[in-house]
Amino acid sequence: MIYIKDLMSGVNIFKALSSEIRIQILELLANNRSLNLNDIATKLNLSNGAITMHIKKLEESGLIEINTVGGKHGIQKICYLNEERLMVDLRSKEIGNLYEVEIKVGHYSNYHALPTCGLATKDSIIGDFDEPRYFADPMRIDSEIIWLSEGFLEYKIPNYLKSNQTFTEIQFSMELGSEAPGFNNNYPSDIHFFLNNKEIGLWTSPGDFGDVRGTFNPDWWPPHLNQYGMLKLIRINSEGSYIDGCRISDVTLQDIGLDYRSDINFRIAVTEKSANKRGLTIFGKSFGNYSQDLLVRALYAVQDDKRG
């Protein structure tokens, strides 16, 4: 997901979307996953020269990616849709102060894992498949992909607030999927989210995706295993809890009771009560389709200092 935090930062994307032809190109890529320039030109009944200009605009905006590959008729430029969702924050002027941290997916502070399960760095599997004891291995800090059929991963989020500051919103962004033996694109799983042991909602992952290779997967990663997930944005503020802008519960920051002295523990779980109990997979920078780990963004307000 492309998340435009303020309108000015999205100017290049807005310009790219101002053309009907470029919108048609995005629709073609959304329906076909990838096409070369000749395919796009033919489908839109345009010349290669005309298409090239539009493709360049889309690539510069970050909406598409282009890979050059060898083919029967020489070098081809293959176009891919870079992101599956675009989110624009129209209330950006109200954001105020914030801090961001990126936490490696292997840097969890607590866990419980049942097979099928495992974890891997960008170079190799840690230990053996389906052996939960390796979740305690010191190398787990370097994990870039983690999967389990039931259990949880908990992350300790740094609290940088000062005594005259209060949280107004906390956001979590991560690439997630289900966990099937091998992979299964139709494998719904209820993934629950907790903040300081209070459930803030759940998201049902549609599947454990493996139909195409993940963009950032290392070469050694087997093609018969899961390849990528979906990028999800979770927000909790004074109005409730949301995922990708859709309300998932009425739980607010006030219900959690965070202040500048609070520990902040974020848990991702597949629980015994999950109606669809089909595991979870979290992808780090070196796996999946998004080059990121667990991103956390804390928004806060500063109280006026009336002393003296």
State yes or no: cis peptide before 116, omega within 30 of 0.
yes
Task: Tell which residue, 180, 127, 171, has the closest CA to residue 266.
Answer: 171
- Beta strands across the sheet bearing 34-36: 34-36, 74-81, 64-71
Over residues 186-206, the pLDDT tens digits come to 999 999 999 999 999 999 999
- The pLDDT value recorded for residue 152 is 98
71-97 burial, b if ≥16 CB within 10 A, otherwise e?
Answer: eeeeeebebbbbbeeeebbeeeeeeee
Indicate if the alpha-carbon torsion angle 206, 208, 213, 217 is positive or negative: positive
What domains, with CATH codes, occur in the chain?
A: 2-81 (1.10.10.10), 95-302 (2.60.120.260)
Residue 248's alpha-carbon distances to 156, 191, 288, in angstroms, are 22, 12, 25
**Per-residue pLDDT band at 82 (split at 50, 70, 90):** confident
Percent of the chain as helix, strand, coil, to the nearest 5:
20, 40, 40
- The pLDDT value recorded for residue 196 is 98
3-14 burial, b if ≥16 CB within 10 A, otherwise e?
Answer: bbeeeeebeebe
- The pLDDT value recorded for residue 6 is 62
> Is residue 169 within 8 Å of 283, Cβ to Cβ?
no
**Per-residue pLDDT band at 305 (split at 50, 70, 90):** low
Q: What is the pLDDT averaged over residues 141-148?
A: 98
pTM of full prediction above 0.75? no
Task: Give the contacts of 23 (CB within 8 A, at least 6 positions apart).
Answer: 17
More reliable by pLDDT, 79 or 236: 236
pLDDT at position 308 over 50: no
Over residues 36-76, the pLDDT tens digits come to 888 999 999 999 888 998 998 898 888 888 888 876 667 78
Q: What is the pLDDT averaged over residues 178-184?
A: 94
